[in-house]
Amino acid sequence: MNTLQVAIIDDSVEDRDLMRWALHNNLEQQFVFVEAENGRQGLGLWQQLDANPPDVILLDLRLPDIPGLEVLQKLKGSSEIVPVPVIILTETPNSAEVSAALAVGAQDFIAKSQINPETLPRIVLNAIERFHLLKKLHQSESHFRMMADAVPVMIWMSGTDKAYTFFNKVWLRFTGRTIEQELNYGWLEGVHPDDRQHRLESYITAFEARQEFEVEYRLRRYDGVYHWVLDRAALQFNPDNSFAGYVGSCVDITQRKQAEQALQISEERLRLATEVGGIGIWDIDLLTRTRNWSNQGKAIYGLAPHDMLDFTRQLSLIHPDDRELVNSTVIQFRDYGTIDKIELQHRILRPDGQLRWVAVRGEASHIGEGAERRPARLIGTIIDITDRVQAEEALRQSEAQLRALAETLEQRVAERTAELERRNQELDQFAYIASHDLKAPLRAIDNLATWISDDAGSLLPLSSQRHLELLRSRVKRMEDLLNGLLAYSRADRYLGEAEPIDIRRLVEDIIELLAPPESFTITVQPKMPIVNTLRVPLETVLRNLIGNAIKHHHRPDGRVHISAEERGDLIEFTVKDDGPGIAEIFHDRVFMIFQTLQPRDQVEGSGMGLAIVKKTVESRGGKISLISSEGQGATFCFTWPKN
């Protein structure tokens, strides 16, 4: 028999003697005693016995120095339970003090008037037994809470009154809230407003039916972001199998929800894409021998969504001339696995009699390895290609017509080319005649006028001498006109070899040839490019533009500037002067043949120069433009290929 140590804290010597007597007279249990006559001695006694605490404490509520309730609270300290069983000694068993002591953690109470050898030992032994049961329960709960805090999921518990009594640390870290904020129904504040009612109703319905439940809802994380959680709850039972509440666990399923949502969006897009694109989907499970067709796939065969479409009916809808091809291909694909992919185009006959062309594609997935490898599933598409087939047939017919037309056009082009070559030869012949046969009489007239002037010039009156000079100038103008016509006719047909041309050197040679007045200033851009081109056409263009700038200038001290800049594959040339300028209304006219802006008797010219320039530039793939206004000088810009 174990001896139990009893600590008595009471200021009454008679009461302490009475309690020792009552416990000593118990024949079933032996007791030893330690005593204190006030609260301070009691607390000091507790500290002395720290290594070997008493088995039970009998504590008087009415101590002279410290109230018994305060002593009890100091014994409990920060622990969840009082470390030893405490029995309250009182004069008034039903007082509020007794209730407060029991709430703090006292095991029982006894009125001093009821202390006797029968009652006191029974109360002491029962208190000790209940305390040990409570301690085991507390240790079990502490162990459970340690385990609950260690697992990587959120755990909660509720009692028989539906109120929530526990949340593990994982839950509190996730929500960023304290246990006090979450207890009872405080946790509902973190549930998304749209999910709150559903979550609460799921719990209450299951609670009243004593059933396990599972629910998904959004729970607010510490950063204010709502995450989807899966909450599963199981029933708790006491040792006597009575209902004790629920224990639940929550896991974050946000990524799963996002994946499901993405999958739904993808499936919806696929559905819309197949419907809009007219693509039917078919799926054959070879292990279960089941076939699935999308509504669009059935529609291609002219069937309604509820119509059955097995392989037998599918074959019956295929054109008789294509049926054997389809049947043999599917057998190889489905039954023997000799081919992994199929691509077929064939005709079908819909129930309404329409003939349609379809394109079928499919691919097999396999199970097994080596000799055991066999197809397990076939997935594919079907599309109506009738319009495409008809378009291809129309295209073939059009191509045949185009080929015939092309042959006809080639023959006509060859004929036109020959005709153009013949006319060019005639034009060359005419140009030769114009430059030779027509010039001969002009030279004779000029010679005759010269002889008359030399032989009888001094004898002729001044008016006749002026007429002779006018005659000779008109002959010269006619000769220049013929030369201009000849140059214009050949402007786009110059043949020769391209060569590297130093543009600055070319411009300097042209200026030297033109011999402008000494009072005239011509500047050339210091750095000019080198191009690989035909010399004569480019020289003709520059000579005409620079010559015009000198010839048509209204002052003897005029200025002309020539520049050239690279523009990709082209060179942009600029000839700019400060002469009289050209009114905008004449910008197009100056490039026409036989056009001059001043009377020919004032400025000698054939009116062919700029026409030859424009034709020459355009024949080389370039463009020419004029920027000018009356009295503001003129700037001619033209482009010329580098090579």
Q: Which domain holds residue 364?
A: 280-384
CATH of the domain at 317: 3.30.450.20
Residue 253 exposure: Cα atoms within 13 Å on the Cβ side: 16
Q: What are phi and psi of 51, to 5 degrees?
A: -75, -25
The verdict on residue 524 lying in a domain is yes
Do 528 and 620 lie in a common domain? yes
Residues 328 and 219 in one domain: no
Please give the order of strands across the beta sheet that includes 226-237. Answer: 164-167, 154-158, 243-252, 226-237, 213-220
Cα–chain center distance at 525: 52
In a domain, 21, yes or no: yes
Which pLDDT belongs to residue 475? 62
- Is the residue at 225 inside a domain? yes
Q: Of 280, 314, 273, whose CA–CA distance to 296 is shortest?
A: 280
615 by Cβ neighbours in 10 Å (0-12 / 13-18 / 19+) ranks as buried
The DSSP result for 113-135, as a single string, is GG-STTHHHHHHHHHHHHHHHHH
In whole angstroms, how far apart are CA 6 and each of 54, 74, 626?
A: 6, 19, 125
Pairing of strands 559-567, 243-252: unpaired
571 near 623, Cβ under 8 Å?
no
Please report whether residue 259 resides in a domain: no
399 and 376 in a common domain = no
pLDDT of residue 485: 54
* Whether the Cβ atoms of residue 156 and residue 64 lie closer than 8 Å to each other: no
Residue 268 lies in a domain: no
Alpha carbons 166 and 171: distance in angstroms, whole number: 10
Instruction: Note the Cα 627 to chain centre separation in Å.
Output: 50
Interatomic CA distance for residues 172 and 153, integer angstroms: 11
Q: Does the global pTM surpass 0.85?
A: no
Q: How far is Cα 176 from Cα 220, in angstroms, rounded to an integer?
A: 9
- The DSSP bridge pattern shows strands 499-502 and 154-158 to be unpaired
Last residue of a domain, one of 141, 164, 191: 141
Task: Assess whether 500 and 477 both reside in one domain.
Answer: no
Identity of residue 327: N
pLDDT at 443: 66
Domain-located, residue 269: no
158 part of a folded domain: yes
Same domain, 357 and 478: no
Identify the pLDDT of residue 46: 84
Please list the rounded mean pLDDT of every run of 10 residues in the chain (643 residues).
86 91 85 91 84 88 89 81 86 81 85 88 87 71 62 86 90 93 94 95 94 94 94 87 90 90 82 77 83 89 90 89 87 69 90 92 82 81 90 89 88 82 68 60 68 73 74 63 56 71 91 89 92 87 90 91 93 94 85 60 59 86 91 93 87
Domain C-terminal end among 88, 122, 141: 141
Strands 164-167 and 154-158: antiparallel
Give yes or no for a contact between 199 and 191, defined as CB atoms under 8 angstroms apart.
yes
In this structure, the chain runs to a length of 643
For the four alpha carbons of 450, 451, 453 and 454, in that order, the dihedral sign comes to positive
d(CA 522, CA 542) in angstroms, rounded, equals 13
Of 141, 161, 177, the position where a domain reaches its end is 141
Q: Mark whether 10 and 113 lie in a shared domain.
A: yes
Q: What CA–CA distance (Å, rounded) separates 394 from 439? A: 63
Q: In 219-335, which residue ranges form alpha helices assigned H by DSSP? A: 254-276, 295-300, 311-316, 320-331
N-to-C CA span, the chain:
123
Looking at the structure of the chain, the number of domains it has is 5
Q: Domain check: are 474 and 504 in the same one?
A: no
- CATH number of the domain to which 612 belongs: 3.30.565.10
User: Do 513 and 631 sit in the same domain of this protein?
Assistant: yes
Q: How many whole angstroms separate alpha carbon 348 and alpha carbon 331?
A: 19
Residue 270 within any structural domain of the chain: no
Residues 100 and 8 placed together within one structural domain of the fold = yes
* Amino acid 603: pLDDT: 46
- How many helices (H) and strands (E) the chain has is answered by 18, 22
